[in-house]
């Protein structure tokens, strides 16, 4: 039998050193007794340490996951923890992957111990309540806490990082932690009477606690699951839990029973600030009207109507298909990746975007949500038809000479019927009202082409199409 005595309750290094030596000497877990100096169990240990512990040669590898688990589990209050950890280590030496087997009883037990320690640490971070001694500037903050496991050293650095600018002490029966503004120190445990018993802010805190509680939704079990009663004795707000619960039903009943009072008449309320006055400008009032469009169901899920933009004097009108994700969020047409592609092509073709009116055939974004993204959906004919009134009214407000339809949806809106792009692309076509129209692809089509060579080729064709518009723009500038 090997008797190992560790220096203190949280002596991980001592345990690790002894355990390593024991494993290297193939000492079976059943042949080791673990104790902590000063503990009762130590009484049964022989007066001098076992001889083989003097020999310490060689190392072996265990996964980092075990070391992490062991460092936490060793803080558990169960006196068997050193033995359980040694048993697991002994088995891990020849079976490295055992640590991943959540169903192994030893792994499960050590995991549960580590979890209990982490939970206790978390609860200490949450439930420590400082009380002020002295007044601000020279004040010292002192708390009393009763941890379930040996977690004071584990939990203290959190408070040092959080309350770096104030001196504090956390007193516990096991160990006390102190911060003087520069360094952490630890002293032996003390009794509760050493800690201050009140704080000038506690009444205010209790008032807050009582006010933030909604008596109409009493769920006492849910509260106790997260804030077990064992913590209550050191929480200033706990003293009012019982009266609050007792009063809750009466208060809710009263709320329901009491008829509503006559509505309070506010004096002069300013006009609801969210309503905007329609602007005088034609295009502006169109835009305002379109913002409330309910002609089809697409408005329901979209953020906003994305209306056309550009100068009223534009003689070229670019019509896209529908706004995408970015356009829907920003409320402006062609600001996303397709917009950037369009800008580049326009520049290369020699078209001044600032002098062009840019809009879409359909003015709400159509999509299906897929987790955290919205997948673009092609608008159908009824939706294109429903939206066409806006396009028509934009045309009559702008009076453009040339309308460039980009993509099939746009072509359908411009020509009033399904119009294949392939046949009509790149030619100037006269519309029934005498205006000219030009059909080309949508820039997002270029973005979707997977083959870089085809992409390049199609992009060049797109620029060529836009050059026709550029020619027209120049002509009309000269004419003006």
Partner 1 sequence: MDVQRKLEILADAAKYDASCASSGTEKRDSSDGRGMGSTAPGMGICHSYAPDGRCISLLKVLLTNACNYDCLYCVNRASSNVPRARFTIDEAVKLTLDFYRRNYIEGLFLSSGIIRSPDYTMEQVVSVARKLREQHHFRGYIHLKTIPEADDALIAEAGKYADRLSINIEMPEETSLQQFAPEKDVRAIRRTMGRLRLKLDEAEEDRSAKTKAKPQRFAPAGQSTQMIVGADSASDHTILHTSANLYGAYRLRRVYYSAFSPIPDASRALPLVQPPLLREHRLYQADWLMRFYGFDVGEIVDDSAMLPLDVDPKLAWALRHRDRFPLDVNRASREELLRVPGFGTKAVERIIATRRTTTIRFSDLARLHVPRNKALPFIVLSDHRPTPHRLDEERLIERFKPKATQLGFGF
Residues 101-140 that bind partner 1 (CB under 8 A): 101-103, 105, 108, 122, 125-132
Least spacing, CB of residue 312 vs partner 1, in Å: 24
Q: At what angle do helices 12-24 and 81-92 cross, to 10 degrees?
A: 40
Instruction: From 11-19, 242-250, 312-320, 434-442, give the range in contact with partner 1 by CB under 8 A.
Output: 242-250
Least spacing, CB of residue 333 vs partner 1, in Å: 15
Phi, psi angle pair for 334, to nearest 5°: 50, 55
Name the residue nearer to partner 1 (CB basis): 26 or 161: 161
SS3 (DSSP) at 289:
helix
Least spacing, CB of residue 96 vs partner 1, in Å: 10
Q: What is the total residue count of the chain?
A: 480
Structure tokens at 360: 């879409």
Write down the residue that tokens 């003689």 correspond to. 315
CA nearest neighbour of 172 among 118, 229, 121: 121
How far is the C-alpha of 466 from the C-alpha of 348, rounded, in Å?
Answer: 9
Name the residue nearer to partner 1 (CB basis): 38 or 157: 157
For partner 1, the binding residue among 46, 181, 189, 426 (CB under 8 A) is 181
Restricted to residues 183-202, the positions that interact with partner 1 (CB under 8 A) are: 199, 201
Contact residues for 184 (Cβ-Cβ < 8 A; gap 6+): 156, 157, 160, 177, 178
CA nearest neighbour of 109 among 8, 2, 101, 36: 101
For partner 1, the binding residue among 24, 133, 190, 329 (CB under 8 A) is 329
Least spacing, CB of residue 474 vs partner 1, in Å: 36
x-or-dash string of contact with partner 1, 201-240, rule CB under 8 A: x-xxx-xxxxxxxxxxxxxxxxx--xx-------x-x---
x-or-dash string of contact with partner 1, 25-64, rule CB under 8 A: ----------------------------------------
Write down the residue that tokens 């359980």 correspond to. 84
For partner 1, the binding residue among 273, 422, 434, 452 (CB under 8 A) is 273
CA 477 and chain centroid, separation: 52
Restricted to residues 417-446, the positions that interact with partner 1 (CB under 8 A) are: none
Q: Does 166 bind partner 1 (CB under 8 A)?
A: yes
What does the DSSP assignment read for 403-448?
EEEESHHHHHHHHSS---HHHHBTSEEE-TTS-EEEEE--HHHHHH
Name the residue nearer to partner 1 (CB basis): 15 or 130: 130
Give the CA distances from residue 95 to residues 62, 66, 92, 408, 436, in Å, rounded to whole numbers and listed in that order. 9, 12, 5, 64, 79
How far is the C-alpha of 189 from the C-alpha of 471, rounded, in Å?
Answer: 88
Number of residues located near partner 1, criterion CB under 8 A: 94
Least spacing, CB of residue 127 vs partner 1, in Å: 7
Name the residue nearer to partner 1 (CB basis): 104 or 458: 104
Least spacing, CB of residue 30 vs partner 1, in Å: 23
CA atoms within 13 A on the CB side of 48: 3
SS3 (DSSP) at 301:
coil
Instruction: From 34-42, 85-93, 365-373, 457-465, give the range in contact with partner 1 by CB under 8 A.
Output: 365-373
Name the residue nearer to partner 1 (CB basis): 61 or 267: 267
For partner 1, the binding residue among 29, 49, 196, 331 (CB under 8 A) is 331
Restricted to residues 368-407, the positions that interact with partner 1 (CB under 8 A) are: 369-374
Least spacing, CB of residue 73 vs partner 1, in Å: 16
Name the residue nearer to partner 1 (CB basis): 245 or 449: 245
Restricted to residues 280-319, the positions that interact with partner 1 (CB under 8 A) are: 291-292, 300-301, 303-304
Name the residue nearer to partner 1 (CB basis): 96 or 475: 96
With b for 16 or more beta-carbon neighbours within 10 A and e for fewer, the 97-114 pattern comes to ebbeeeebebbebbbebb
Instruction: From 152-160, 354-362, 425-433, 457-465, give the range in contact with partner 1 by CB under 8 A.
Output: 152-160
How far is the C-alpha of 391 from the C-alpha of 319, rounded, in Å?
Answer: 9
Tell me whether strands 402-406 and 428-430 are parallel, antiparallel or unpaired: unpaired
Restricted to residues 83-102, the positions that interact with partner 1 (CB under 8 A) are: 97-98, 100-102
Name the residue nearer to partner 1 (CB basis): 82 or 130: 130
């Amino acid at each position: 039998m090997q008797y190992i005595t560790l220096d203190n309750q949280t002596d991980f290094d001592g345990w690790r050193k002894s355990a390593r030596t024991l494993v290297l000497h193939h000492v079976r877990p059943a042949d080791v007794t673990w104790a902590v100096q000063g503990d009762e169990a130590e009484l049964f240990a022989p007066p001098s340490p076992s001889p083989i512990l003097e020999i310490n040669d060689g190392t072996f590898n265990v996964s980092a996951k075990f070391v992490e688990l062991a460092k936490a589990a060793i803080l558990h209050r169960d006196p068997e923890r050193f033995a359980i950890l040694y048993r697991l280590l002994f088995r891990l030496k020849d079976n490295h992957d055992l640590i991943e087997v959540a169903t192994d009883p030893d792994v499960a037990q050590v995991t549960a111990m580590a979890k209990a320690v982490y939970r206790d640490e978390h609860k200490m971070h949450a439930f420590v309540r400082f009380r002020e001694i002295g007044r601000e500037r020279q004040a010292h903050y002192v708390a009393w806490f009763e941890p379930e496991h040996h977690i004071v050293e584990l939990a203290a650095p959190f408070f040092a990082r959080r309350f770096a600018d104030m001196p504090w002490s956390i007193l516990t029966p096991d160990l006390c932690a102190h911060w003087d503004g520069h360094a952490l120190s630890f002293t032996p445990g003390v009794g509760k009477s050493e800690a201050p018993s009140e704080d000038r802010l506690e009444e205010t805190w209790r008032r807050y606690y009582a006010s933030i509680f909604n008596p109409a939704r009493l769920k006492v079990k849910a509260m106790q699951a997260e804030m077990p009663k064992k913590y209550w004795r050191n929480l200033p707000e706990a003293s009012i839990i019982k009266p609050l619960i007792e009063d809750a039903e009466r208060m809710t009943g009263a709320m329901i029973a009491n008829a509503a009072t006559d509505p309070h008449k506010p004096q002069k309320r300013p006009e609801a600030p969210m309503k905007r006055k329609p602007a005088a400008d034609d295009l502006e009032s169109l835009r305002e009207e379109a913002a409330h469009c309910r002609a089809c169901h697409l408005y329901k899920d979209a953020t906003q109507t994305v209306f056309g933009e550009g100068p009223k004097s534009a003689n070229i009108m670019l019509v896209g298909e529908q706004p995408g994700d970015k356009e829907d969020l920003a409320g402006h047409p062609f600001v996303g990746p397709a917009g950037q592609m369009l800008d580049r092509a326009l520049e290369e073709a020699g078209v001044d975007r600032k002098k062009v009116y840019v809009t879409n055939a359909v003015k709400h974004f159509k999509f299906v949500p897929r987790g955290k993204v919205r997948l673009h959906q092609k608008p159908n004919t009824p939706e294109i038809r429903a939206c066409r009134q806006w396009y028509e009214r934009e045309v009559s407000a702008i009076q453009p000479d040339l309308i460039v339809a980009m993509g099939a949806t746009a072509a359908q809106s411009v020509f009033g019927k399904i119009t294949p792009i392939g046949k009509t692309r790149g030619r100037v076509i006269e519309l029934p009202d005498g205006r000219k129209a030009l059909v080309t692809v949508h820039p997002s089509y270029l973005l979707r082409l997977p083959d870089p060579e085809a992409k390049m080729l199609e992009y060049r064709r797109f620029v060529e199409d836009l050059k026709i518009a550029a020619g027209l723009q120049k002509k009309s500038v000269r004419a003006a």
